[in-house]
Structure 1
Amino acid sequence: MQGAARTRKRDFPWWLAAAVAIALAAAMAIAASDLYRQVFSTVAKGIGITVFVTVVGFALASALGLGIALMALSGSAWLRQIARFYVEIVRGVPILVLLFWIAFVGAPAFVSAWNFLTAPLQQAGWLGELVVRDVSLLWRAIMALTIGYSAFIAEVFRAGIQSVEVGQIEAAKALGLSRVQRFRLVVFPQAIRTILPPLGNDFVAMVKDSSLVSVLGVADITQMGKVYASGSFRFFETYSVVAYIYLILTVGLSLALRALEKRLRRQNMQA
C-alpha cells in the first residue's frame, strides 16, 4: 500500500502543475496591464485563422497521407514506386520552401492549366477566366502544409498498418471479407492504436508550423503579432504574448491527445 502510494506520488504530473501555475500567473499579468491586454486583444484576432489553417490542413494531409500509404502497401510495383518517390521528395523539401513554391510557382501553374483545359467553356461564355489573384494566399498556404505533412503522415499510416499481425488479415480472408471490409473492420481499428501517438505529434507540430503562413501575409497569430510589433516597437511584450498563446494551444492539445491514448489503451485491455 505504501509502495503504491509512493509510486502515485512520484508519477504525479508536477510539470503540469508548474505549467498551469505559470500560465495562470501570465494570465493575471496580462489582465493587470493595459499594454499586455492591448497586445493580447490584437494578437488573439489571429487565433481563428491559425485554428482553421491547422484543422483543414491536417484533415487534408491525413486523407492524402492515407492514400499514399495505401499506394505504398499495394500489390502494384508502379504504385509502390510512385508512393516512395512522393514521400522521399516531399520530405526532403523544407516546409517554408514548399510554402513559397506552392504560393508563387504552383498556384500560377494551376491557373494556367485550368484556363487551358477550360478554354472552350470560357469561349462559350460558361466560365470566366481564372487569374492568379483569385487563388487566395490562405488556400495556397493550406495546400503547402497539406502536401508537406502528407508525406510524414503517409509513413505513420504505413507503419501502423504494417504493425497489424498477418494472422489477423489471413483470418479475415478466411471469413470471406473483401479487401475494403478487411481494412475497415480488422486492420484500421487495430492500426489506429499505433498510429494515434505519432499522428498526434504531427498535429501539434502543424499548429506550430502554421505560423509559417505569416510569410504570405495570412493574418494568423504570428502575422498579427508581427504587424503590432512593427508598429509599436513592443517586440518583447508582443512575442511573449504570441509564445504564450501558442503554448496554450499546443500543451492543451497534447493533454487532450494523451487522454485519448489512455482511453484507447483501457478499451484495448478490457477487450
Structure 2
Amino acid sequence: MHAPTDGAPAPRGTAPQAPVDVASAHGRPHPWRWALSAALLLVAVGLAVFLAGNPNFQWDVVAEYLFYPTVLKGLATSVVLAVVAMVIGTALGTVLALAQMAEFAPARWASKAFVGVFRSIPPLVQLIFWFNLGFLLPKIELGLPFGPAFASWNTTDLITPLTAAIIGLSLHEAAYMAEIIRSGLTSVTSGQHDAAKAAGFTPVQTFFGIVVPQAMRVILPPFGNQFIATVKGTSLVSVIAMSDLLFSVQAIADRTYQVVPMLIVACLWYLGVVTVLTYFQRILERRYGRGYDAAPAKRAGIPFSPWKKAAK
C-alpha cells in the first residue's frame, strides 16, 4: 500500500502519522561505523589499562613534582619566552609582509631574502649560533658605518642565554609570520580596496577597517598553530642552558634519577598549555569566521560534515 500524498486522507483503519521533518532526520547507521567505534573503544581501554597498570610510570612521583616550584618557574619561563618571541616575530613579520607587497623593489628583495634565510635554517642551529656569537664578533659597536663608534659592549656579556633565545626564536617566527600575514592580506580582493576608496576611506582606514578584519579569518588558524609550535619550540633553549620547562625537569631527573616521571611532568604541562591555547584559538576563529564556511548550517541546527554530499 502506498503512503498517502500531502493533503489526502489516510486510509481507513490506519492511524494518522505526524509529518516528518527532513531537516532533523538522521542517516541510517552503517555497520563499518559500529566496527570502527568498537575498535577505538578497545584501543582506549587498552591504553587506559596500560597507563594505570604499569608501575614504571611512577604516578606518585609525577604527582609530587607536577607543581614543584622549580617546574612551575620553568613553565613560566617557557610561556613568557613564547609570548615575547611571538610579539616580536609578529611585529617584524608584519613589516616584512608589507615590504613583500610594496612597489619598492629593494624592499621586496630584502624581505624575501630574510624570509628565505631564516625559514631555511633550523631554530636549534639559530639558537646555538646566536649563543656563540662572541666567537665571531667579540664586541658589538654602535656607530656610523666605517666611522667612529659611539658605544660598544662585550658580546659575551650582552648575549646571555635569554637574549640568545629571544633573538633566535623571534627571527625564526618573523620569517614564518611574514608569510602567514602576507597570505592573509592578499586574500582580500581588490574590489574591497576599490569599494573603500569609492566610499572615501583613507589608505590607513582601508587597511585597518576593511582589509585587516577580513584577513584575520585567514591569518588566525596558522597564527594559532605557529604560537602553539613556538610554545613547544621553547624546549630547544635547554641546549643553551636556559631554565625553561624541559631544562627544569631534566635538572630534577639528573638529581633523582627519575627520568620517565619527570618527562611525564613536562608532557602534562605542555599538553595543558596547548589545550588552553587551542580552546582560545577556536573562539577567535569563530569570532572572525562568522558569516563564512559552515555558519548557516550551524545556525540552523544542522551538523556540518565534509563527508556529506551536497543536496541536489
C-alpha distance in structure 2 between counterparts of 1:186 and 1:107, whole Å = 49
Matched-pair contact (CA < 8 Å) for 1:164–1:190: yes
C-alpha distance in structure 1 between counterparts of 2:205 and 2:218, whole Å = 20
C-alpha distance in structure 1 between counterparts of 2:274 and 2:241, whole Å = 23
**Segments of 4+ moved more than 4 angstroms:** 115-122, 128-131, 267-270
| CA-CA distance at 1:180 after TM superposition | 2.1
| CA-CA distance at 1:44 after TM superposition | 2.6
Is structure 2 residue 213 aligned with structure 1 residue 189? yes
Aligned length: 249
| CA-CA distance at 1:129 after TM superposition | 5.0
Is structure 2 residue 29 aligned with structure 1 residue 3? no
User: Equivalent of 1:51, from 65, 79, 82?
Assistant: 79
Is structure 2 residue 197 aligned with structure 1 residue 173? yes
What letter matches 2:65 in structure 1?
A: V
Matched-pair contact (CA < 8 Å) for 2:93–2:181: yes
| CA-CA distance at 1:266 after TM superposition | 2.8
Matched-pair contact (CA < 8 Å) for 1:108–1:132: no
After TM superposition, the structure 1 stretch with the greater mean CA deviation from structure 2, 128-137 or 230-239, is 128-137
C-alpha distance in structure 1 between counterparts of 2:90 and 2:135, whole Å = 22
User: Equivalent of 2:65, from 30, 35, 39?
Assistant: 39
Is structure 2 residue 285 aligned with structure 1 residue 247? no
Is structure 2 residue 228 aligned with structure 1 residue 204? yes
Aligned match of 1:93: 121
| CA-CA distance at 1:33 after TM superposition | 5.5
TM-score by length of 2: 0.70
Identical residues among aligned pairs (%): 31
User: Equivalent of 1:60, from 88, 96, 120?
Assistant: 88
Taking a change above 3 Å as real, the CA distance of residues 129 and 205 of structure 1, as seen in their structure-2 partners, is closer
Q: What whole-Å deviation, never above 9, does each CA across 1:55-100 have from its counterpart, x for those lacking one?
A: 1111110000010000000011111111111111111000000111
How do 1:1-271 residues align onto structure 2 when only pairs under 5 Å count? 1-3=24-26, 34-40=60-66, 41=68, 42-105=70-133, 109=137, 111-114=139-142, 130=154, 132-266=156-290
Matched-pair contact (CA < 8 Å) for 1:160–1:195: yes
Partner of 1:3, secondary structure, is coil
| CA-CA distance at 1:47 after TM superposition | 1.0
Gaps of 5+ in 2: 1-23, 30-39, 297-312
Taking a change above 3 Å as real, the CA distance of residues 229 and 121 of structure 1, as seen in their structure-2 partners, is same
Q: What whole-Å deviation, never above 9, does each CA across 1:114-172 have from its counterpart, x for those lacking one?
A: 389997756xxxxx855522443112201110001111110000010000011011122
Partner of 1:75, secondary structure, is coil
Partner of 1:266, secondary structure, is coil
| CA-CA distance at 1:251 after TM superposition | 1.9
Partner of 2:26, secondary structure, is helix
State the structure with bigger RCO (CA 8 A, min sep 6), 1 or 2.
Answer: 1
RMSD: 3.3
Partner of 1:114, secondary structure, is strand
C-alpha distance in structure 2 between counterparts of 1:191 and 1:110, whole Å = 44
After TM superposition, the structure 1 stretch with the greater mean CA deviation from structure 2, 200-209 or 231-240, is 231-240
C-alpha distance in structure 2 between counterparts of 1:172 and 1:107, whole Å = 53
After TM superposition, the structure 1 stretch with the greater mean CA deviation from structure 2, 104-113 or 206-215, is 104-113
Taking a change above 3 Å as real, the CA distance of residues 173 and 109 of structure 1, as seen in their structure-2 partners, is farther
Partner of 1:218, secondary structure, is coil
C-alpha distance in structure 2 between counterparts of 1:37 and 1:263, whole Å = 37
Structure showing the higher helix proportion among its residues: 1
Matched-pair contact (CA < 8 Å) for 1:115–1:129: no
Aligned match of 1:9: none
Taking a change above 3 Å as real, the CA distance of residues 193 and 141 of structure 1, as seen in their structure-2 partners, is same
Q: What whole-Å deviation, never above 9, does each CA across 1:229-260 have from its counterpart, x for those lacking one?
A: 11221111111111111111112211220122
Matched-pair contact (CA < 8 Å) for 1:114–1:130: no
| CA-CA distance at 1:184 after TM superposition | 1.2
Taking a change above 3 Å as real, the CA distance of residues 156 and 120 of structure 1, as seen in their structure-2 partners, is closer
C-alpha distance in structure 1 between counterparts of 2:225 and 2:139, whole Å = 34
